[in-house]
Amino acid sequence: MSSHPELDGYEPHGERPPRFRRRQRLIQFAALVGVALLVLPLVISQVRVADQSAQRWCSIWVNHQLAEPANSEARFELFGPSVLGWECYATAVIGGDRFVGSLGIIPGPPNLADGRVLMS
- Would you list the DSSP string of 5-74? GGGTT-----SPPHHHHHHHHHHHHHHHHHHHHHHHHHHHHHHHHHHHHHHHHHHHHHHHH-SS--EEEE
How far is 38 from 32, CA to CA, in rounded Å?
A: 10
Q: Say if CB 104 and CB 86 are below 8 A apart.
A: yes
The model's pLDDT over 41-75, given as tens digits with 9 standing for 90+, comes to 999 999 999 999 999 999 999 988 888 888 999 99
Residues in a beta bridge with 99: 89
**Residue 120 or residue 4, greater confidence:** 4
Q: What is the pTM of this model?
A: 0.70
The model's pLDDT over 71-105, given as tens digits with 9 standing for 90+, comes to 999 999 998 888 899 999 999 888 788 898 899 89
